[in-house]
Amino acid sequence: MAATLARLLPLLLLLLPPPLREYLSASEIQHGAKDDAATGVLHPIVMVPGVICPHVEARLTEAYHPSVPRCGAMIGKPWFGLWENATDVPAHDYLECFKEQMSLVYDPAANDYRNPPGVDTRIPNFGSASGFSDKRPLHT
């Protein structure tokens, strides 16, 4: 298994964006396959949203004005999970609401992106591995 993975790694690197590919290739050449914990070299963790990713919770306040009335059903209620697994959003016809509540709005005064007005989001256990789970329904 390890030999197969070692042969596939260069091919997998081709799927990454060029800057990340160059960083990882240079790091591998410079440091080899040894444990980099002692050298302080940090490598990115690539996550596939919808398969394994952090839990995302939202809270809708009175400032939220949904484009569709059903998207405002949770206004004034406590924090809720935006999705439970990869099939949850389409199965409950929540895709339009999900896209609206997960979108970002550009604030030119701050030169930054923010949540839409009335949508608060948070990542429970941020910075901890316990905040992640497999989002595929057969693996939960």
Identity of the residue numbered 59? R
C-alpha gyration radius of the chain: 20
Cross-strand bridge partners of residue 57: 81, 122
**In sequence order, what E strands does the chain have?**
52-54, 57-60, 80-81, 105-107, 112-114, 119-122, 132-134
Using CA atoms, how far apart are residues 73 and 80, in angstroms rounded to an integer?
12
The pLDDT of residue 61 = 96
Instruction: Give start and end residues of each alpha helix (H) in the chain.
Output: 2-13, 18-31, 88-91, 95-102
Q: Which segment of 22-31, 55-64, 121-130 scores lowest on mean pLDDT?
A: 22-31
Q: Which segment of 23-27, 34-38, 90-94, 115-119 scores lowest on mean pLDDT?
A: 34-38
Q: What is the mean pLDDT of the chain?
A: 74
The pLDDT of residue 132 = 65
The pLDDT of residue 38 = 61
Stated pTM of the model = 0.55
Mean pLDDT within 105-120: 92
The pLDDT of residue 125 = 77
Taking only the tens place, the pLDDT of each residue in 37-84 is 566 666 555 555 555 666 788 999 999 999 999 999 999 999 988 766
The pLDDT of residue 31 = 47
52 φ/ψ angles, rounded to the nearest 5 degrees: -140, 120
The pLDDT of residue 21 = 65
